[in-house]
Structure 1
Amino acid sequence: MTVVASGASDCDTPLRAVFKINLNGKTVSIGTVGQAYRFITNLSSIEWIEFRSLHADAVSSLHGAAGNAMLTVQATNALRALFVRAKLL
């Protein structure tokens, strides 16, 4: 794992919204950059293949937000677009 990826994964910076996703009968709450990064990168890349452009945008935005908290608005918007398109919200 690269230093940047580790930084995004460990980042406690809050997003502008808390996403509550129902996954396998359990509700997963995503409220920080790190939680979001781990959620969208721990799933298999095959699971995101249909949404690869939105997934790539979300990962990139989360990397940016991990380094600059002012970018959490863009990261939140990218996650929302991904989750809506994937019908997770």
Structure 2
Amino acid sequence: MTNASHSETPLTATFKIKLNGETISIDTIGQAYRFITNPGAIEWMEFRSLHADALSALGSAARNAMLSVQATAALRALLARARLL
């Protein structure tokens, strides 16, 4: 089984997020997975359903790169709802 946090599979879009004065660029499955799983400045509990959907989609895309479109869409929905985009 592929560990999603180490996946170098590219997303279909690059997300540039400004967080705590720094711009973070997310363009691979692994970067996205690490961003939404590491505890930090974002509290994901408010967006629990979208967060779970994004985790599932990123995990699936790490195993099958053809699912990167769905993973990108799930991540976009989560980030947009959290007003990070």
Classify the TM-score, shorter chain: over 0.9
Structure 2 residue aligned with 1:66: 62
Q: CA deviation at 1:81?
A: 0.2
The 1-side partners of 2:82 and 2:39 are apart by: 13
- Residue 17 of structure 1 pairs with residue 13 of structure 2: yes
Gaps of 5+ in 1: none
Figure out how many residues of one structure are paired with residues of the other and give that number: 84
Structure 1 residue aligned with 2:33: 37
Q: Structure 2-normalised TM-score?
A: 0.94
Percent identity between the two aligned chains: 69
Gaps of 5+ in 2: none
1:49 to 29, 45, 48: 45
Structure 1 residue aligned with 2:81: 85
Q: Structure 1 residue runs of 4+, over 4 Å off? A: none
Q: CA deviation at 1:82?
A: 0.2
The 2-side partners of 1:63 and 1:86 are apart by: 21
Secondary structure of 1:31's aligned partner = strand
Could you give the per-residue CA deviations for residues 29-55 of structure 1, whole angstroms, max 9, x where no partner exists? 0000000000000025x8101100000
Q: Structure 1-normalised TM-score?
A: 0.90
